[in-house]
Structure 1
Amino acid sequence: MGRNKDALVAGNVQSRSESSELTPLMIQYLSIKEEHKNDVLFFRLGDFYEMFDSDALEVSRLLNLTLTHRGSSPMCGIPYHAAKIYIARLLRCGKRIAICEQVSEPNGKTLTERKVIEVITPGTALESEYLDGGANNFLACLCVQKGRAGFAYIDVTTSDFFATSWYEADMAENFSKELGRSHPRELLLPQSLEKNEIIKNALMQNEEIAVSYYPDWNFDQSLSYKRLLSQFKTANLQSFSLDEKSPEVAPSGFLLDYLQKTATTNSPHVTGIKVYRDSQFVIMDDSSRRNLEIVQNLHDGSSQFSLLECLSHTQTAMGKRLLRSWLLYPLTNCDEIHSRQNHVELFTSNRNLLEYVHETFADILDIERLAGRIAMERAHAKDLQALKTSLAAWLQVRSQLESHGFTRTEKSLAEQIVSLINDSIIDDPATALGEGRIIKEGWSKELDEYRRIHDNVNKILEDYAEEEKTATGIQNLRIRNNNLTGYYIEITRGKADAVPPHFILRRSLTNADRYTTNRLQEIEKQIGEAELKITETEKALFLAVRAKIAEHTAYLLQTAKEVAYTDVTSALAYAALLHGWVKPLVDNSKHFVVRSGRHPVVELHLPSGEFVPNDIEISAEKTDDDGVLPYFALITGPNMAGKSTYLRQNALIALLAQIGSFVPAKEAHIGIVDRIFCRVGASDNLARGESTFLVEMTETAYILRTATEKSFVIMDEVGRGTSTEDGLSIAWAVSEYLLNALKCKTLFATHYHELTRLNHPALKLLCMDVSEEADKITFLRKIKEGASENSYGIHVASLAGVPQSVIRRANEILGSLHSDAALAENGVNVGNLQTAQSASEKTLEKSLAMPGLFSDEELVLDEILSSDPDDMTPRQALDLVARWKKSLSGR
């Protein structure tokens, strides 16, 4: 294990082959490995794929395989028939796999010839075993030339191909944002960017992406342009909003080259590319997307406890992918949003139709990826049957939707494809072409004849024997067979005179003679060739059927998109009915009004009726007298009272409205927002030397530099990561900047109650309602107008289980601080705060220096009274007794 890895791989085949320990087989392996240094080489040996040297060391660790040796080389292997399981696990680890097969039959004399027939990478995987049906499998590429960055990504299994660009100066903002939205499995970069700090920092946040670097000459603009023209079969790229100098061209062209060289397959179904700009979608930086937990939660990265989970009522893999895309790319065009809303409303108002679609779509498989496999000549007979079943189910749904103007594709073509597959492919076909059992009887007269011969050998021979008996009158004529002479006619010597001239003597025996005829030789040839002919004919017929269907790939992909759209809109309708959501009014105003809004994820995981809904009404519109309406809500109140939930739920309502969904509220009026910012939570990035406070300030700076009047901003506890004076000063200044410079719709939650003394016509004060009865404090989780006067932090500490002695002491110190360092009632400024803080610190120091208000005995007695022995383990009880003894002994 401690051997140098560079010595293990075939870095120098010649020097290693000079060693007497290397067999011809290992020399062959090292030669092939030399061409695939960056790949895990699956080297076929009989019924196993073997890995050697550094590959064996790494794969045995990743897959928990037993490590053996061949000579002095480490080795591990997997059965070839189970290879897909292991390949899928390696792809999830970001590895590239080169499949090296035996291409000549073993003869026992010479070394079997081997060569790499396929390289599988995380972004080029085609088999369903390697893919997540609910998410795209994107391969991405970034290229920077002449001050412009081009970013492109493609899912070859679905033909989805996208590209965008930005100025190099905006790399820090845009690269991480695009990585977060597209979430590629594999990223290709030029070597000139290998040491770029912005790129490195973004990749540290996305460690699951497999990254490869290539020489910059691979990203030639002119060659890439020609490659795109060749792929799309067009004279220019104007219809795709591209020209020869577009920054999107170089990465897009390199992606196509990489696919062809790596996957060793053409992609005829990739017939276009969609170039998009930020203005088409709501912009969210990667931090905001994570904090809002849109498609994955912050805890373990799964979709549980995310917005995606609330909407996951899609029935097809295509629908799952499209729903995910809608959540990551909310729209900014009102007409498109209204179109989606209308289709969702179609299902909410027709529940029988919704139920029918929901049930029927369960029979629809992944038409999009099936079409891709057919186009790339990878589909087997079961894939065609899956396509037939899916199209048939879609035709049933389509007939129900026609009266609503919901569909656009031609129905007759789908019917033709269903009929073609139904007539030609058996219902439960084999997957391998050599196994037979693919083509239906009656599809080909030639194949049927071969099958008749193969399945009726005895009857054919018996019939021929009867013909000859009738013609010759020799009733004891028999047709027999042996391995030496094959089929022959045996006639006893007593009937020798009756043998006709067309019988050809093959051998004379003591009691009988053996003959053959031209007809018998022909039958023997047909019998011998029947099995081979069946295999060859079935293969040719299947390929012809598949090629016929491949002619309609564009239609199948369009049908898949229509199915996915129907699936998603019906799923959104299902969620709306299930959770009691309403259709929001979405327009180009600057209003944001929500009545009885709820957090969709929190509500989903609470018992029915427990979530407390809340209102919000802010607007950046001007009044009739050129005044301003409140667009900045300052929210105060205790921890655990629901401030963060309130902030997030309104951001999610804005997002849901702009994907065309209904929203969790009784009423909503949402003005289109161009960006959503979410600055909440405490996180750090110690690997990059960034503290929690630095991360907070970085996110705050990004908001202040990029937000516009049409943005929606939620900020929680700005400035809490530093001293009180610094934190309050920053929070105050940030609030003023949002109010006076940006003028965007903002929800600003804070514990700095001093901020409530800000005076601005666009400022609205909100707080979380609290009920105080005697010593009992209840958080009502209800928003109301006004300002909170208490953070109730000590009460929250008590709820968290902090020892009661600490809670009492905290209350004493708090009372002392309030009495000695009260803030001025008429306004507040930084100078006042510094003076007050200084006084508070002196009071605290004084109080801490005082003798304790309670004796050790009293404290121990109080802790005994507040302890619950029933909730203690024996060990905890012993620890408590030991601590009491130590405290009372003065040690």
Structure 2
Amino acid sequence: MADNENLTPMMIQYQGIKEKYKNDVVFFRLGDFYEMFNQDAVEVSRLLNLTLTHRASQPMCGIPYHAAKIYIARLLRFGKKIVICEQVGEIPKAGKGIAERKVVEIITPGTAVESEYLDGYKANYLASLSITKGRAGFAYIDVTTSSFSATSWSAAKMTENFAKELNRASPRELLLPISLKTNKDIRTVLDSYGNISVSYYPDWDFSSELSFKKLTNQFKTANLKAFSLEKDSPEVVPAGFLLDYLEKTTNSDIPHVSSISVYSDSDFLMLDDSSRRNLEITENMRDGSSQFSLLECVDFTKTAIGGRLLRNWLLFPLTNIKQIERRQERITSFYKDRNLLAKVKNDLSSILDVERLAGRIAMDKAHAKDLQALRTSLESWCKIKGYIEAFDFSFISSENSEKICCLISNSILDEPATSLTEGGIIKKGWSKELDHWRSIHDNFNQVLSEYEAEEKQKTGISNLRIKYTNAFGYFIEISKGKLSYVPPHFIMRRALVNCDRYTTEKLQQLEMDLNESSTKVLELERDLFIEVRSSLHQYIPYLLQIAEEIADTDVSASFAHAAIEHNWVCPDIDDSCIFEITDGRHPVVENHIPTGEFVPNNSFLSAGSDDIPSFALITGPNMAGKSTYLRQNALISLLAQTGSYVPASKAKIGIVDKIFCRVGASDNLAKGESTFLVEMTETANILHAATERSLVIMDEVGRGTSTEDGLAIARAVSEYLVDIIKCRTFFATHYHELSRMENPHLVMLCMDVREDNGSVVFLRKVKEGVTANSYGIHVARLAGIPQNVIDRAKVILARIQSLAQDNPILMEDIPLSEQNNTLKNNDENNYKTPGLFSDEEIIISEILSLDVDNVTPLNALQIISRWQKTLNNQ
């Protein structure tokens, strides 16, 4: 910007504000518009497709103030922070100088509270991360609902845990110490996360002492032991910083935030970030929407609160059997009584977002329509409680609901205005003073008529009239013939030819009251509404409890609806390590194909049992249903531990502590990671983190490298899972050579295929045994590969199969206890894992398939040289 002497006073005022909020978009109020200048104007005009103009050579664009929320919502979706600068003083009467302006509100993606800025079915989290004494603390809060959570982990495992928590909470805004700006692990996670507003603040703002004080002041406690926190707990710093940031940004208190939930992985069924994506629990991998996700299959919620809680249940499955059974009982209550379910769902549809309404009331941001929405919602909830009072749902008393409804019903108009400057909020009869001023404003002609009649009677002047002119205002007009009857309290205003004009103290007072009435009505309505809204503060904890009850009922009814709609059953959950599914189905796939076409399959594994295998090795061709079978088992387990019914005819599941799902990977070239490296990283995480209670789903391990390397890795991973970890594992592979493994805890499964006159039919049925063919060429033909390529592939396959031995070469089966010693005794430079085919066989096959007519002399020499090196290295 130019030097101050070249700027107008208004631009100097703007520059002073912008200097403080350099990285934010400043909405600068000018009359009926919010204006943006300089770089703000250029950027906002591009993002919102606004016309860019200029003022005193400075770029400028504006939006109407009455439509600001629409534009602010769009900017928040782009991750922008908006500073609202309003005119708070009058323009100088002399016409010189400028009106005073100041920042009245800062709106950021994570602190927005207006419904226009929010997705009702998703939490709006603001998150923070810090590192204290080698441990990372992570906290996130939704100020609209008071949901406040925190966790921590070893800083040495930053990438894995930060990605997991970031994707689980899905915050819209993240606050970090500036010292973490160059942290490679954090940068790696943020680069892959997507759209999030990230801000950095000085490290001294992340003070353990200040954060502890902020939390204790907020919760009104002497310490934080009630929340499982000590003064030096790593969760304290980010949590305290969030509260401080919220108070400064929203410019209001947040009394509804009265506790914090501190959790660890052991409190819930843990899924790492990769498994959550692969299972497509709340969003699909194609476009990130909820379509074709597990959430879509079970989401029959009727309220925004229920929608948010359902998402939370899916992301945080339980490990506590009693809690799971309590959820099952509620779902079963609705499942068994379908008439009750229909009535409850119908009335839930009329309940608005009580949780966020309570939050706006607590922050003094609720308008009159919000209060009416709260009243109608509470009335509907009381009606629902009457339906389900026979069940032991342990609901709190409705006494306070009745008090709240009575207060709002008596004080607020049924169709009130939303603005405090427009009036039309308070009901008649709530305030005698307001009714008085309204009567003057609305019925002034009647008041004048009554006063005129009164004066006629007192004076006996029958032609006395009260009139009005712009110049004199209201006056009493008396003809010349009646002047002798004029009483002493009449005050002369003007004598005319045919009459005289008078006033009285009462008429002057009436006129003054009329002039003041509009302002008085607005002031009184505003003050009375604020008084009513403030009186609701005492009920905020109660309203949040009510919101929790509504959400729980809505989710329970939603799961019951899903169970009825999809023909699911209630699983038996126990503390064993069993995994027994009869006629299991994939909930998402079944939901998107015609009814009855999905082929159900059984599963039967158990960890720690001598009689039941813990490891299922699954072979079968592409497109035969292996991946679907793997995923459905993971999703059934996850659904069971949310308390839901599951897609099966019978299910018995021992509590699972972690689900790992490695079923395909993509490269990350920006980070220098190939597909195979990503696959191996995910596999390493499974082998390090899985326990005997875990459920592991693995598909095509080792396929991203050479056949020999891949087969060796797949074999070693299988052995480690079955012999060392001993967890319940579904392991799909195209390496049929692995079927030679023998272990009492291993079962061979395959996908059934029928060949009929050269055609192949995938029956999508799992059976015991091993598939001998992958039918890859058949799948290639289905995909549309040119026929000449298919024919050539058949010739090559026939040749390769004719050269291969009946029993492909594998490493000798070496017990794991002897494996390390064996490898040490071999010279690493000379050690080489035997392949499936000898080098001579491969070279002969290459010669037979070589297109001699299209090989240049130089290419021929290079090929021969490569063959020589291969044979000489033997």
Please state which band the TM-score falls in when normalised by the shorter chain. Answer: over 0.9
Partner of 2:632: 649
Q: 2:83 aligns with which of 86, 94, 98?
A: 98
What CA distance in whole angstroms lies between the structure 2 residues aligned with 1:214 and 1:286? 27
Instruction: State the Cα deviation string for residues 759-810 of structure 1 (Å, max 9, x = none).
Output: 1111110000000112111000110000000000000011111111111111
* 1:628 to 1:202, Cα distance in 2 relative to 1, 3 A: farther
Helix, strand or coil: the match of 1:551? helix
**Residue 678 in structure 1 maps to residue 691 in structure 2:** no
Partner of 2:96: 109
**Residue 721 in structure 1 maps to residue 708 in structure 2:** no
Q: Shift of residue 851 of structure 1?
A: 7.5
Are 1:820 and 1:839, in contact at CA under 8 Å, matched by a contact in 2? no
Partner of 2:49: 64
Are 2:809 and 2:834, in contact at CA under 8 Å, matched by a contact in 1? no
One-letter code of the match for 2:286? H
Instruction: State the Cα deviation string for residues 227-254 of structure 1 (Å, max 9, x = none).
Output: 1111111122111111211111111110
**Residue 83 in structure 1 maps to residue 84 in structure 2:** no
Superposition RMSD in Å: 1.5
Q: Which moved more, 1:30-39 or 1:833-842?
A: 833-842
What CA distance in whole angstroms lies between the structure 2 residues aligned with 1:632 and 1:506? 106
Helix, strand or coil: the match of 1:363? coil
Partner of 1:753: 736
Instruction: State the Cα deviation string for residues 463-482 of structure 1 (Å, max 9, x = none).
Output: 11111111211100001122
One-letter code of the match for 2:575? N
* 1:849 to 1:484, Cα distance in 2 relative to 1, 3 A: closer
What CA distance in whole angstroms lies between the structure 2 residues aligned with 1:482 and 1:433? 32
* 1:835 to 1:348, Cα distance in 2 relative to 1, 3 A: closer
What CA distance in whole angstroms lies between the structure 1 residues aligned with 2:697 and 2:581? 15
What CA distance in whole angstroms lies between the structure 1 residues aligned with 2:840 and 2:73? 64
What CA distance in whole angstroms lies between the structure 1 residues aligned with 2:418 and 2:37? 31
What CA distance in whole angstroms lies between the structure 2 residues aligned with 1:637 and 1:744? 23
Helix, strand or coil: the match of 1:703? helix
What CA distance in whole angstroms lies between the structure 1 residues aligned with 2:59 and 2:837? 71
Partner of 2:849: 848
Q: Shift of residue 525 of structure 1?
A: 2.3
Q: Shift of residue 567 of structure 1?
A: 0.3
* 1:832 to 1:52, Cα distance in 2 relative to 1, 3 A: closer
What CA distance in whole angstroms lies between the structure 1 residues aligned with 2:593 and 2:737? 34
Partner of 1:327: 314
One-letter code of the match for 2:779? V
Q: Shift of residue 106 of structure 1?
A: 2.7
One-letter code of the match for 1:171? M
Q: 1:632 aligns with which of 615, 639, 645?
A: 615
Q: 1:774 aligns with which of 750, 757, 780?
A: 757
Are 1:591 and 1:621, in contact at CA under 8 Å, matched by a contact in 2? no
Partner of 2:18: 33
Partner of 1:867: none
What CA distance in whole angstroms lies between the structure 1 residues aligned with 2:91 and 2:66? 19
Q: Shift of residue 170 of structure 1?
A: 2.4
What CA distance in whole angstroms lies between the structure 2 residues aligned with 1:742 and 1:568? 36
Partner of 1:658: 641
Q: Shift of residue 727 of structure 1?
A: 0.5
Partner of 1:373: 360
Q: Percent identity?
A: 61
Q: Which runs of 5+ in 1 are unaligned?
A: 1-7, 9-14, 853-891
**Residue 447 in structure 1 maps to residue 448 in structure 2:** no
Are 2:350 and 2:377, in contact at CA under 8 Å, matched by a contact in 1? yes
Q: Shift of residue 485 of structure 1?
A: 2.5
Q: Which moved more, 1:81-90 or 1:557-566?
A: 81-90
**Matches of residues 236-247 of structure 1 in structure 2 within 5 Å?**
236-247=223-234
One-letter code of the match for 1:610? E
Are 1:288 and 1:678, in contact at CA under 8 Å, matched by a contact in 2? yes
Instruction: State the Cα deviation string for residues 521-554 of structure 1 (Å, max 9, x = none).
Output: 2222222222221111111111111111121000
**Matches of residues 405-416 of structure 1 in structure 2 within 5 Å?**
405-416=392-403
Q: Which moved more, 1:400-409 or 1:606-615?
A: 400-409
Q: Which moved more, 1:827-836 or 1:574-583?
A: 827-836
Q: 2:475 aligns with which of 478, 488, 491?
A: 488
Partner of 1:593: 580
Helix, strand or coil: the match of 2:729? strand
Helix, strand or coil: the match of 2:730? strand
Partner of 2:828: none
Are 1:757 and 1:827, in contact at CA under 8 Å, matched by a contact in 2? no
What CA distance in whole angstroms lies between the structure 1 residues aligned with 2:323 and 2:774? 44
Helix, strand or coil: the match of 1:406? coil
Partner of 1:613: 600
Partner of 1:193: 180
Partner of 1:857: none
Helix, strand or coil: the match of 1:780? strand
Partner of 2:28: 43
Are 1:319 and 1:565, in contact at CA under 8 Å, matched by a contact in 2? yes
**Matches of residues 837-876 of structure 1 in structure 2 within 5 Å?**
838-849=839-850
Q: Which moved more, 1:58-67 or 1:396-405?
A: 58-67
Are 1:138 and 1:182, in contact at CA under 8 Å, matched by a contact in 2? yes
TM-score normalised by the chain length of structure 1: 0.92
One-letter code of the match for 1:718? V
Q: 1:204 aligns with which of 188, 191, 197?
A: 191
What CA distance in whole angstroms lies between the structure 2 residues aligned with 1:167 and 1:693? 27
What CA distance in whole angstroms lies between the structure 2 residues aligned with 1:325 and 1:368? 15
Q: Which moved more, 1:267-276 or 1:103-112?
A: 103-112
TM-score normalised by the chain length of structure 2: 0.94
Q: Shift of residue 112 of structure 1?
A: 2.0
* 1:828 to 1:249, Cα distance in 2 relative to 1, 3 A: closer
Helix, strand or coil: the match of 2:121? coil
Q: Shift of residue 72 of structure 1?
A: 2.4
Partner of 2:825: none
Q: 2:775 aligns with which of 779, 792, 795?
A: 792
What CA distance in whole angstroms lies between the structure 1 residues aligned with 2:224 and 2:72? 37
Helix, strand or coil: the match of 2:389? helix
What CA distance in whole angstroms lies between the structure 2 residues aligned with 1:111 and 1:829? 89
Q: Shift of residue 843 of structure 1?
A: 3.8
Instruction: State the Cα deviation string for residues 319-344 of structure 1 (Å, max 9, x = none).
Output: 00000001110101000000001100
Q: 2:497 aligns with which of 510, 513, 516?
A: 510
Q: 1:178 aligns with which of 165, 177, 180?
A: 165
Q: Which moved more, 1:817-826 or 1:730-739?
A: 817-826
One-letter code of the match for 2:67? A
* 1:340 to 1:490, Cα distance in 2 relative to 1, 3 A: same
What CA distance in whole angstroms lies between the structure 1 residues aligned with 2:134 and 2:326? 38
What CA distance in whole angstroms lies between the structure 2 residues aligned with 1:630 and 1:679? 21
Helix, strand or coil: the match of 1:268? coil
One-letter code of the match for 2:90? E
Q: Shift of residue 61 of structure 1?
A: 1.6
What CA distance in whole angstroms lies between the structure 1 residues aligned with 2:237 and 2:619? 51
Instruction: State the Cα deviation string for residues 851-890 of structure 1 (Å, max 9, x = none).
Output: 89xxxxxxxxxxxxxxxxxxxxxxxxxxxxxxxxxxxxxx
One-letter code of the match for 1:143? S
**Residue 287 in structure 1 maps to residue 274 in structure 2:** yes
Q: Which moved more, 1:204-213 or 1:600-609?
A: 204-213
* 1:835 to 1:650, Cα distance in 2 relative to 1, 3 A: closer
Partner of 2:863: none
Are 2:411 and 2:427, in contact at CA under 8 Å, matched by a contact in 1? yes
Partner of 1:571: 558
Are 2:708 and 2:836, in contact at CA under 8 Å, matched by a contact in 1? no
Partner of 2:296: 309
Helix, strand or coil: the match of 1:764? strand
Partner of 1:870: none
**Residue 541 in structure 1 maps to residue 542 in structure 2:** no
What CA distance in whole angstroms lies between the structure 1 residues aligned with 2:483 and 2:841? 131
Partner of 1:388: 375
